[in-house]
Amino acid sequence: MSGDYDLDLFVIGGGSGGVRAARIAAGHGATVAIAEEFRYGGTCVIRGCVPKKLMVLASRFSDDFADAAGYGWSVGAPTFDWRALVAAKEREITRLEGVYRTNLEKAGVRVMDGRAVVEGPHAVRLLSTGEVFRARHILVAVGARPSLEPEIPGGELGITSNEIFDLPEQPRRILVVGGGYIGVEFAGIFAGLGSQVTMSLRGDKLLRGFDEDLRDRLGAAYARKGVALRFGTTLERLARDADGAIAARFSDGSSGTFDRVLVATGRKPNTAELGLETAGVALGAGGEIIVDGYSRTLVPSISAVGDVTNRAALTPIAIREGHAFADTVFGGTPRMVDHEIIPTAVFSTPEIGTVGCSETLARQRTGEVAIYETAFRSMRATLSGRDDPVYMKLVVDARSDVVMGLHVLGRDAGEMIQLAGVAVTMGATKADFDRTVAVHPTAAEELVTMRTRAR
Ligand code: FAD
């Protein structure tokens, strides 16, 4: 700690990015405090990745029961208890929250509860006690929140991903507004749990920005599962029925009745009323904090990492940015995070794993692109005859032979893409894939056995 300051670092926000930065900075010998206004672990642990994945896993048992019967098992009519799932999920995230807090304390970080706001380039106020701390550096890691926009009549009847994890009852009929990854994942969860699912989205396909073949095939798989897809529509109004249900009207004149309406149309950085403007921190048009490659704002003593900077809103990115910040400022090793190649999964059912360029983007970036692709039914579903599609695609720069993109739809796609992501990050060529011996019989072996160029 130096001279006029109480602390070397004050971290605002106890989520993925803030917690990592605080622990690493403390490990480098800095005196660090962190404040969290809700629950330690942040969005990912409390109301994002972790509870979402638990619910995805729960939803897939319906397929597993169907497959089991195909293998000779006699399975009685399975029943599902939503409240039991919510309670089990709550126990697990409470455990994780405790782990986060303990790890911070073990690292020597001063852990505070309550909202913190910036009061100057070196000053942070903890609102729960009114205390003001003078810190040599301030790290803003406050994340983002779901936005309920656009505002429509009856919009307050909708809920967001913040509320969905703790609903008292499983909705029998649910409308999901928005076709991004969060909307797609919850549609898959509730379809698997047996709810009637309707999706309303402005575009003509799910998952804008993803490879077109993934988008087409996921849409087709969802339609076959019975998800009602209303493409090219926006929600115009919601109203409460006499019997307590929610009546929805859409822009194409159609309507529907639902028990719950999940609005998953986007997220906004948590920068409102944080005191950033008074300290001179510049915000972008969407409220995100503008930073350079080292996560520095225009104010030298204030940095920002994670969703609040709207670079790539994913937990591993927030963690890397937090870690790189701490190494740069307190560890004497300046590091930037590469946002170019990001392997990622969408936990829809069927699942998606993707890394690198979509075919469309590859065609824009390079002269000639070679596409290799394969589609089949997963082996697991062959005996049950269940619909369980698998699709794989390699996008290759035809001149250099470098694999620019790799896309998988199907069971365990997320697990596959983590490993395939190593090869793509290393700049592997198609020839490298070809000389890799297949692991047989697996689905992933198809990634190294595609020999015929599709286009
Ligand atoms: P957060 O984790 O949001 O943490 C910010 C913290 O700051 C919060 O705890 C908040 O309460 C606190 N805070 C805000 N303002 C203040 C203040 N003034 N004072 C004190 N505390 C404050 N990413 C993946 O990689 N994989 C996934 O599968 C995935 N699934 C997701 C599913 C859902 C439904 C959602 C919503 C997100 C998902 N994400 C996923 C994204 C991931 O959760 C975020 O990218 C990640 O949590 C960002 O970390 P962060 O540190 O920037 O912010």
Q: What is the mean pLDDT of the chain?
A: 96
Ligand 1 touching residue 35 (CB < 6 A): yes
Residue 2 maps to a domain: no
Residue nearest to atom 32 of ligand 1 (CA): 48
Residue 200 maps to a domain: yes
Residues 216 and 302 in one domain: no
Alpha carbon distance 84, 401 (integer Å): 51
Residue 437 maps to a domain: yes
Alpha carbon distance 258, 315 (integer Å): 32
Binned at pLDDT 50, 70 and 90, residue 361 comes out as very high
Residue 113 pairs in a beta bridge with: 36
Task: Among 210, 236, 265, identify where a domain stops.
Answer: 265
Residues 225 and 87 in one domain: no
- Which phi-psi region, left, alpha or beta, contains residue 154 (left: φ > 0; alpha: ψ -120 to 50)? left
Residue 338 maps to a domain: no
Classify residue 214 by burial, with Cβ atoms within 10 Å: 0-12, 13-18, 19+. buried
pLDDT in tens, 386-412: 999 999 999 999 999 999 999 999 999
DSSP annotation string for 355-388: EE--HHHHHHHSS-EEEEEEEEE-GGGTTTT---
pLDDT for position 3: 65
Alpha carbon distance 374, 409 (integer Å): 11
Q: Is a pLDDT exceeding 60 seen at residue 175?
A: yes
Binned at pLDDT 50, 70 and 90, residue 451 comes out as very high
- CB contact at 8 A, 358 and 342: no
Residue 238 pairs in a beta bridge with: 248
The structure's pTM equals 0.97
Residue at 429: amino acid letter: T
Whole-number Å distance, alpha carbon 273 to ligand 1 midpoint, is 18
Residue 137 maps to a domain: yes
The encoded tokens of residue 114 equal 């309550």
Alpha carbon distance 33, 102 (integer Å): 14
Cα 376–221–265 angle (5° rounding)?
Answer: 135
The verdict on whether 323 is a catalytic residue reads no
Residues 94 and 133 in one domain: yes
Ligand 1 touching residue 270 (CB < 6 A): yes
Pocket mutation for ligand 1, best pick of 11, 37, 43 (most atoms within 8 Å of C-beta): 43
Ligand 1 touching residue 111 (CB < 6 A): no
Residues 25 and 163 in one domain: no
Residue at token pair 């709550």? 90
Q: Could you count the other beta carbons within 10 Å of the beta carbon of residue 88?
A: 12
Residue nearest to atom 23 of ligand 1 (CA): 314
The encoded tokens of residue 146 equal 């779901």
Residue 94 maps to a domain: yes
pLDDT for position 247: 97
pLDDT in tens, 258-287: 999 999 999 999 999 999 998 999 999 999
Residue at token pair 């039991």? 84
Cα dihedral sign, 47-48-50-51: positive
pLDDT for position 150: 77
Task: Among 330, 364, 384, identify where a domain stops.
Answer: 330
pLDDT for position 149: 78
Residues 65 and 135 in one domain: yes
CATH number at residue 395: 3.30.390.30
Residues 256 and 281 in one domain: no
pLDDT for position 76: 87
pLDDT for position 367: 82
Number of domains in the chain: 3
Ligand 1 atom closest to the CA of 17, numbered from 1: 51
Residues 213 and 285 in one domain: no
Ligand 1 touching residue 295 (CB < 6 A): no
pLDDT in tens, 397-450: 999 999 999 999 999 999 999 999 999 999 999 999 999 999 999 999 999 999
Give the rounded percent of residues in the chain with a pLDDT score beyond 90.
Answer: 97
Rg of the chain (C-alpha set): 24
Closest CA to 33 of 111, 147, 138: 111
Residues 226 and 96 in one domain: no
Q: Is a pLDDT exceeding 70 seen at residue 375?
A: yes
- CB contact at 8 A, 300 and 287: no
Pocket mutation for ligand 1, best pick of 24, 49, 339 (most atoms within 8 Å of C-beta): 49
pLDDT in tens, 157-168: 999 999 999 999
Query: Who contacts 77 (Cβ-Cβ below 8 Å, separation ≥6)?
Result: none
Q: Is a pLDDT exceeding 60 seen at residue 1?
A: no
Residues 139 and 198 in one domain: no
Q: Is a pLDDT exceeding 60 seen at residue 2?
A: no
3-state secondary structure of 272: coil
Closest CA to 155 of 225, 82, 249, 77: 249
Residue at token pair 């995230």? 93
Residues 24 and 139 in one domain: yes
Alpha carbon distance 324, 359 (integer Å): 31
Euclidean distance between the first and the last CA atom of the chain, given in angstroms as a whole number: 61
Q: What is the mean pLDDT of residues 45-73?
A: 96
Residues 121 and 162 in one domain: no
Ligand 1 touching residue 143 (CB < 6 A): yes
Residue 424 maps to a domain: yes
pLDDT in tens, 308-338: 999 999 999 999 999 999 999 999 999 999 9
Whole-number Å distance, alpha carbon 320 to ligand 1 midpoint, is 14
Alpha carbon distance 24, 294 (integer Å): 16
CATH number at residue 201: 3.50.50.60
3-state secondary structure of 403: strand
Residue 453 maps to a domain: no
Q: What is the mean pLDDT of residues 168-172?
A: 98
Domain that holds residue 436: 344-448
Alpha carbon distance 49, 30 (integer Å): 30
Ligand 1 touching residue 142 (CB < 6 A): yes
Residues 221 and 241 in one domain: yes
Q: Is a pLDDT exceeding 90 seen at residue 148?
A: no
